[in-house]
């Protein structure tokens, strides 16, 4: 379950006045549910995802993810919480370029403290259809394949929450469609809560819940 209460985020801006990027966000998302976050560029979508991930702290308000009040955790505890509880998928993949597909996933499995990182990583890559690309470097993979490696990395520890920031934004339509269906399948099969930032109303309409941001405020989707 994800619960946000009266969340506000200010960033310092160059002119010295704080820039209010999120304001008065309230949200209750049941466990295993899916949520689309929509809104124009600059409306605060990635900032909100970063707060859910514990990468950013809110200026005001409360953030609870999978039963944990993130405001009570130290940075070290937050890092452990992230490794155990969250998977991330970004628009730009963020793979380690000098490591193979398998190594990229194994590193995440090790950080999450899995007892059997290698078989679990092979299994995760098989789930995303890349069992025959284990030793390829990211530079030797297509964009869609890179994103599938990033998804395998995100799910290898079977996190209860999967956060995706425009995961299909840099893919061609055919690969985007495949990657999106894969994310939906994993959400259903693994019972993972799914939060997906997207500009695409067709994708958003496939989520159970929708939240639309405009200039940092929630508006009716």
Task: Write out the DSSP string of the chain.
Answer: -EEEEEEEEEEE-TTSSEEEEEEEEEEEE-TT-EEEEE--TTSSHHHHHHHHTTSS--SEEEEEETTEEGGG--HHHHHHHHHHHEEEEETT----TTS-HHHHHHHHHHHTT-S-HHHHHHHHHHHTT-TT-TT--GGGS-HHHHHHHHHHHHHTT--SEEEEESTTTTS-HHHHHHHHHHHHHHHHHHT-EEEEE-S-HHHHTTSSEEEEEETTEEE--
Judged by CB under 6 A, which of 41, 72, 74, 97 binds ligand ATP?
41
Task: Scan residues 89-108 and list those touching ligand ATP (CB under 6 A).
Answer: none
Name the minimum Å distance from CB 157 to ligand ATP: 26
Task: Scan residues 179-208 and list those touching Mg ion (CB under 5 A).
Answer: none
Name the minimum Å distance from CB 191 to ligand ATP: 27
Please give the Cα distance from 115 to 199 (Å, whole number): 38
Of Mg ion, ligand ATP, none, which one sits near residue 122, judging by CB under 5 to 8 A according to partner kind? none
Judged by CB under 6 A, which of 34, 47, 192, 193 binds ligand ATP?
47
Stretch binding ligand ATP (CB under 6 A), from 40-48, 66-74, 94-102, 173-181: 40-48
Query: In the complex with ligand ATP, which residue's Cβ is closer, 24 or 113?
Result: 24
The answer to the question of residue 175 lying near Mg ion (CB under 5 A) is no
Name the minimum Å distance from CB 97 to Mg ion: 22
Judged by CB under 5 A, which of 43, 46, 121, 175 binds Mg ion?
46
The answer to the question of residue 18 lying near ligand ATP (CB under 6 A) is no
The answer to the question of residue 117 lying near ligand ATP (CB under 6 A) is no
CB-side exposure of 20: number of CA atoms within 13 Å? 11
List residues near ligand ATP by CB under 6 A: 11, 19, 21, 39, 41-47
Residues that bind Mg ion in the complex, under the rule CB under 5 A: 46
């Amino acid at each position: 379950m994800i619960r946000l209460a009266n969340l506000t985020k200010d960033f310092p801006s160059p002119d010295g006045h704080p820039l209010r990027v999120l304001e008065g966000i309230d949200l209750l998302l049941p466990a295993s549910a899916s949520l689309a976050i929509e809104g124009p560029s600059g409306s605060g979508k990635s900032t909100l995802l970063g707060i859910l991930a514990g990468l950013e702290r809110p200026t005001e308000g409360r953030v609870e993810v999978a039963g944990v009040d993130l405001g009570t955790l130290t940075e070290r505890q937050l890092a452990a919480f992230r490794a155990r509880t969250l998977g991330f998928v970004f628009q730009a993949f963020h793979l380690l370029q000098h490591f193979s597909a398998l190594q990229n996933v194994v590193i995440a499995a090790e950080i999450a403290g899995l007892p059997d990182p290698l078989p679990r990583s092979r299994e995760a890559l098989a789930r995303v259809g890349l069992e025959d690309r284990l030793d390829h470097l990211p530079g030797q993979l297509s964009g869609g394949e890179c994103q599938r490696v990033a998804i395998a990395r995100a799910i290898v520890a079977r996190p209860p929450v999967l956060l995706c920031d425009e995961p299909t934004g840099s893919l061609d339509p055919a690969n985007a469609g495949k990657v999106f269906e894969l994310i939906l399948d994993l959400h259903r099969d693994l019972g993972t809560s799914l939060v997906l930032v997207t500009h695409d109303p067709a994708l958003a309409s496939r989520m159970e819940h929708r939240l639309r941001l405009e200039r940092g405020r929630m508006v009716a989707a």
